[in-house]
Amino acid sequence: MSLNLIINTAVEPFGFSLAKDGRCLVSIKQGGDRHFSESMISMIDQYCRLYAQGLCDIDSIGVVNGPGSYTGIRIGVSYAKTLAYSLNCPVVGLSSLESLAVQSISQSSVFAVILSAKPQHVYFQLFNCVNTINPISDLVLLHIDDCFNLLESFKSRLDCFVCSKLPLFDRCSFQHLQFHSVDIDCSRLFVLLNKTLQAVTDPSVKNLSLNYICQPKIGA
């Protein structure tokens, strides 16, 4: 039997989810208020006990490690590292954009995920959804005008999944672009957690880092 934990304090709404043997036990999602972040560990413990489990029963941890809120990323990664160290269990970081991508349903094989960043900027990444969802470009930080120009360069249909509190693309009228709102639901990240655990050679505390910065280039 396995008990797995996902934590997200990088992208609002913040939350966490617990799954046992592949079945989601609880999924909490809440606006990014300070009280929620500060009380998260005690809340996780309470829900573990509700299902006759304890923090000591957690077998693996996934934490959304950015990009996103500077303070939120540090809080989530700190929680995950502390728990993983005390439990001596595997822990891995999950990219914010890949976390959004795995719960996006696209009608085309290639789609874009866009995450609001600092003022007038967005994070952008392309994904392929043939068989499984995989990134096919670098994760880049773009000025919103550069993002518009990039999207305009696509000539065929492109689904764009946008995570933002602001109406970033209301003025965009390109018919080949379809915009959809999306946010992170931790209960839908356990497949990504298992995939990442298998791909990482050493899923330990020392290898869990903060994902703040990306290179300004588009890859193939």
On the CB side of 107, CA atoms within 13 Å amount to 9
Question: What average pLDDT is seen over the chain?
Answer: 91
Dihedral angle computed from the Cα positions of residues 214, 14, 150 and 137, in that order, rounded to the nearest 10 degrees: 50
Residues of CATH 3.30.420.40 domain(s) within the chain?
A: 3-95+184-207, 97-181
Greater pLDDT, 214 or 83: 83
pLDDT for 213 equals 65
- Is pTM beyond 0.75 here? yes
How high is the pLDDT of residue 107? 80
The correct CATH number of 97-181 out of 3.30.420.40, 3.40.50.300, 3.90.550.10, 2.60.40.10 is 3.30.420.40
Structure tokens of 12? 């609002």
pLDDT value at residue 147: 94
Give the CB-side neighbour count of residue 36, counting CA atoms within 13 A: 17
The arithmetic mean of pLDDT across residues 145-171, rounded, is 91
Matching residue, tokens 């990039």 = 150
**Cβ neighbourhood burial of 65 (10 Å; 0-12, 13-18, 19+):** buried
For residue 61, give the 3-state DSSP assignment: strand
CATH of domain 3-95+184-207: 3.30.420.40
